[in-house]
Amino acid sequence: MLRELLINAGVGETRVALVEDGRLEGFWAEPAIAAAGGRLGEVWLGRVARVVPAMQAAFVGLGAQDGMRDGFLPLRDAPPLHEGQAILVESVREADGAKGARLSARVVLSPELDAQRRLVKPPQLLRAGPGVIEQALDAAPDGTQIFIDDARAAEAARKVFAQRTITLVREDLFARHDLEEQVAALYRPRVNLACSGWITIQSTEGMTAVDVNSGGFSAAGGREETAQAVNLEAAREIGRQIRLRGIGGLIVIDFIQSEDGRPAVAALKRALGEESQVSPMADFGIVAVARRRRGAPLAARQVCRCCDGGGRVASVAAMAQEILRQVERSARAAPGREIVVRASPAVAGWLAAHDAEVRAGLDRRGVGRVCYMSEERENFDVATR
């Protein structure tokens, strides 16, 4: 089996793909510009914004950066609190949508952290959490071939993971194995199965619902054999999709009703791994999954557009990050040519607001002249002239 870890440290976003024989099996993404606070593992000296006894929780201010929200601190994980109090907290679950990071006050206080907190005023980040590159390198099995497309990122990774062989390359890593299409598919609700059936994944504020459909597939043994075959294939793919999409919390799966749901449930458990609790199959083919939520799911990168029934579209930041990837590709294809970006006022405004960081990233990646034009349009266009 050929296993590769492909790290694209782009201007607007760092993306990491774990690929096995050309198939995407792990995916991590993190903004490189205007990242919100509350990353898993961060340690902050925060300030209690308010205590809510009815919720047995407090909300802790972590700062006023772009996208920052108050963190949620259960009182059982903290000493007695009052509003305005400074408190040392660690992020144990990243911010997700409108929800801020989940915090714990049970922080292992090293001498370095203790010295830092005495020198600063809240809110102040004291220790950064591991980034996506570090997370992915930790998760990658031994024997994985590791490729990074950025010299600075490769140097930093080698310092932390000296035992790993990390290769610096000058190419579009996500062009391998058609990864751009595989990643794009993770944002679509429908996933086709090899048997001609499909699954549909829909997330709401409180839970994720997954529906299994047999499509036109029919096994020779009749209805029960059809249900067993589709459910087994669907269970394996559902586990893979849940992992890739970063879905946590409550997940309800509507399998095809079967006389014996145990094979499908067993396959689902194997696909999900140890961090999930899976119920037996109940009436009507329903299986419930409780999965620990660590970070924001990929769906958080999209916003709801309900005015014309178009469903969910990329957020302004996600669209800006895609534009910067297209700019890099255009620069590689036509070195020295000016690149013209046409985008909506909201996206152009985001790029202008973060101009210094964008320009520094483009310079680091060898991209020359870029011109941004604001137009009333839904999509964007990147061209050279």
Asked whether residue 123 falls in the same domain as residue 136, the answer is: no
Asked whether residue 146 falls in the same domain as residue 168, the answer is: yes
Which strand (E) or helix (H) includes residue 229?
Answer: helix 223-245
Asked whether residue 247 falls in the same domain as residue 287, the answer is: yes
Q: Which residue range forms the structural domain that includes residue 166?
A: 3-34+131-182
> Is 297 inside any structural domain?
no
Helix residue ranges per DSSP H, 52-170: 111-119, 132-139, 151-160
pLDDT of residue 33: 82
> Is 351 inside any structural domain?
yes
DSSP conformation class of 183: H
> Is 307 inside any structural domain?
no
Asked whether residue 190 falls in the same domain as residue 207, the answer is: yes
Indicate which CATH number applies to the domain containing 147. Answer: 3.30.420.40
Asked whether residue 161 falls in the same domain as residue 78, the answer is: no
> Is 305 inside any structural domain?
no
Cβ neighbours for 28, distance < 8 A, ≥ 6 positions apart: 15, 16, 132, 135, 136
pLDDT of residue 37: 59
Residue 284 and residue 268: Cα distance in Å, rounded? 17
Asked whether residue 24 falls in the same domain as residue 140, the answer is: yes
> Is 73 inside any structural domain?
yes
Residue 113 and residue 127: Cα distance in Å, rounded? 8
Q: What is the three-class DSSP state of 260?
A: coil
> Is 374 inside any structural domain?
yes
Asked whether residue 193 falls in the same domain as residue 242, the answer is: yes
From the list 380, 383, 308, 384, the residue with the least C-alpha distance to 346 is 380
> Is 71 inside any structural domain?
yes
Contacts of 330-336 with CB under 8 Å at 24 or more apart are 330/382, 330/383, 330/384, 331/365, 331/366, 331/367, 331/368, 332/172, 333/384, 334/384, 335/368, 336/368
The four Cα atoms 109, 112, 115, 117 give a dihedral, to 10 degrees, of -60
- If phi > 0 it is left, if psi is from -120 to 50 it is alpha, else beta; for residue 215 that is left
Asked whether residue 98 falls in the same domain as residue 152, the answer is: no
How many structural domains is the chain composed of? 4
Residue that is last in its domain, among 182, 214, 248? 182
> Is 137 inside any structural domain?
yes
Asked whether residue 151 falls in the same domain as residue 21, the answer is: yes
Asked whether residue 231 falls in the same domain as residue 351, the answer is: no
pLDDT of residue 64: 58
Asked whether residue 165 falls in the same domain as residue 22, the answer is: yes
pLDDT of residue 89: 94
pLDDT of residue 98: 65
Asked whether residue 157 falls in the same domain as residue 21, the answer is: yes
- pLDDT per residue, tens digit, the chain (385 aa), is 899 999 999 999 999 999 999 999 999 998 888 665 567 889 999 999 999 999 999 999 987 554 467 899 999 888 899 999 999 999 988 877 667 888 999 998 889 999 999 999 999 999 988 888 998 999 899 999 999 999 999 999 999 999 999 999 988 999 888 899 999 999 999 999 999 999 999 988 778 999 999 988 887 878 889 999 999 999 999 999 999 998 988 999 999 999 999 999 999 999 998 889 999 999 889 999 999 877 677 776 665 554 444 456 778 988 999 999 999 999 999 998 999 999 999 999 999 999 999 999 999 999 999 999 999 988 899 999 8
